[in-house]
Amino acid sequence: MTTNHNYLAVIKVVGVGGGGVNAVNRMIELGLRGVEFIAINTDAQALLLSDADVKLDVGREITRGLGAGADPEVGRRAAEDHAEEIEEALAGADMVFVTAGEGGGTGTGGAPVVARIAKSIGALTIGVVTKPFGFEGKRRQSQAENGVASLKDEVDTLIVVPNDRLLEISDRGISMVEAFATADQVLLAGVQGITDLITTPGLINLDFADVKSVMQGAGSALMGIGSSRGADRAIKAAELAVASPLLEASIDGAHGVLLSIQGGSNLGIFEINDAARLVQEAVHPEANIIFGAVIDDTLGDEVRVTVIAAGFDGGEPSQQQHQERRSSYVDPDAGATVPVATGSSNRIEDSGHSTPSWASQEHEPPAQRAADPAFDDDDELDVPDFLK
């Protein structure tokens, strides 16, 4: 019975290049559990600073340990030259996360090679990468687009986090160091939202096969994060997740969804039900929704919801204007209510719950802001605490 052995799934997280290794370091620092960390880089000096379980200095013959010079071809050759070492490091893995910062040399060129090797040994392979900030220049952005396209061909599922979206939920006083640290936090959330479903005891346990049923061969995926406290916290967090500015496209039409709900020991089963029903209403009517609830008393009264949507028709989510996507879930004329499941029927009724509104962001004109009493100036529910 797989359910009795769900803690035995071997999960490895591979950081490729400077951005990927930084993300791995942040995951280690914040205590991501139940996984093995591997750092791969052409920059030998940067590797020395990593606490990863396995560190591979690749491309020594090409780069002399000095980095790829933002050239993806150098990164690709470096990884190809050390394919046997990479395969040895990945051996035995059931699931491999390949994380990188797209746009540079080692991560952009090397990540597809690592992913190809991971799939060749039979591992479920998931890419979790960032696209560069606008201020990093057009060249890096162009290289990032090419890198994302190459990586998508080699993984089962690819989650792309556009760094510029992070600016929408950041204070204007945020430093560059803090901005990149926030990007690392989001990569962590993407990996943790999946691994915790398998490795962490919860109210609703899942096994590796459950996760694999959604992620295998799913193509592009979208990730949204929400966090809330107080009354109706779970449903508010779920609303924030499906309307997250991290989403470049709508989750409408997703056939596979991983829903991770984290909260303290007072997290109720009806809260989980309400949040799951809200997500169900936002995706394909026949979607396979795999959800788990993880207990973490360090969160206090906070509830976090991570939604990973995949399995779109044609392999790609439908692109929409960002404001249009938000308004489809947050209607300022709807009396600030959300649909919630009632009883055991499939009927959805208006329960009068207050909903968070992304329309209260500073950069939007006042005329477009939803009049929502749940979100006055003293309420910070619309930004997950761990991203502040």
Distance CA 297, CA 306 (A): 17
Distance CA 167, CA 163 (A): 7
- Which residue, 303, 304, 358, is CA-closest to 168? 358
Distance CA 169, CA 125 (A): 29
Distance CA 245, CA 248 (A): 7
- Which residue, 382, 339, 341, is CA-closest to 358? 382
DSSP per-residue letters across 42-101: SBHHHHHT---SEEEE--HHHHTTB--TT-HHHHHHHHHHTHHHHHHHHTT-SEEEEEEE
Give me the amino acid identity at 314: G
Residue with tokens 């924030």: 240
Distance CA 152, CA 190 (A): 16
Query: How many other β-carbons are positioned within 10 Å of the β-carbon of residue 41?
Result: 30
The response to whether 257 counts as a known ligand-binding position is no
The response to whether 136 counts as a known ligand-binding position is yes
The response to whether 29 counts as a known ligand-binding position is no
Distance CA 99, CA 191 (A): 9
The response to whether 256 counts as a known ligand-binding position is no
Greatest CA separation found in the chain? 65
Give every strand in the sheet of 11-16, ordered side by side.
54-57, 36-41, 11-16, 95-101, 124-131, 157-162, 219-228, 303-310, 256-263, 288-295, 202-204
The response to whether 106 counts as a known ligand-binding position is yes
The response to whether 69 counts as a known ligand-binding position is no
- Which residue, 308, 326, 71, is CA-closest to 187? 308
The response to whether 335 counts as a known ligand-binding position is no
The response to whether 140 counts as a known ligand-binding position is yes
> Which residues are 141's β-sheet partners?
none
For 210, how many CA atoms within 13 A lie in the half-sphere containing its CB? 24
Distance CA 335, CA 370 (A): 9
The response to whether 202 counts as a known ligand-binding position is no
* Residues of the binding site for GTP: 18-22, 105-107, 136, 140, 184
* Residues of the binding site: 18-22, 105-107, 136, 140, 184
